[in-house]
Amino acid sequence: MKPVKKFRPVLSESQIIYLLSRCKEPSELNKKNAISCIASLAPFLAKIENAGIIPAYSVSTPETLSDKLGYGSEPDFENSFSQEEKDKILYLAWVNLGQDSSKFSLSDLKRIHAYRYLNELMTSDEESEYAHNLMIGD
Whole-number Å distance between alpha carbons of 71 and 97: 33
Q: What mean pLDDT is reported for the chain?
A: 81
Which residues fall within 8 angstroms of residue 26, CB to CB, at 6 or more apart?
Answer: none
Identify residue 34 by its one-letter amino acid code. Answer: A
Residue 98 sits in which domain range?
A: 80-136
For residue 4, being part of any structural domain is answered with no
Q: How far is residue 17 from each of residues 46, 48, 67, 83, 120, measured CA to CA in Å?
A: 11, 11, 31, 35, 52
Residue 110's SS3 state is helix
Residues 10-55 pLDDT 10s: 888 888 888 888 887 766 567 777 888 888 888 878 888 888 888 8
pTM of this prediction?
Answer: 0.44
Whole-number Å distance between alpha carbons of 59 and 44: 20
- Determine the pLDDT at residue 25: 76
- The percent of residues above 70 in pLDDT, for the chain, comes to 83
Residues 89 and 129 in one domain: yes
119 pLDDT tier (thresholds 50, 70, 90): very high
8 Å CB contact between 19 and 37: yes
Domain count of the fold of the chain? 2
For residue 72, being part of any structural domain is answered with no
Residue 127 has pLDDT above 80, yes or no: yes
Angle at 50 between CA 46 and CA 56, to 5 degrees: 80
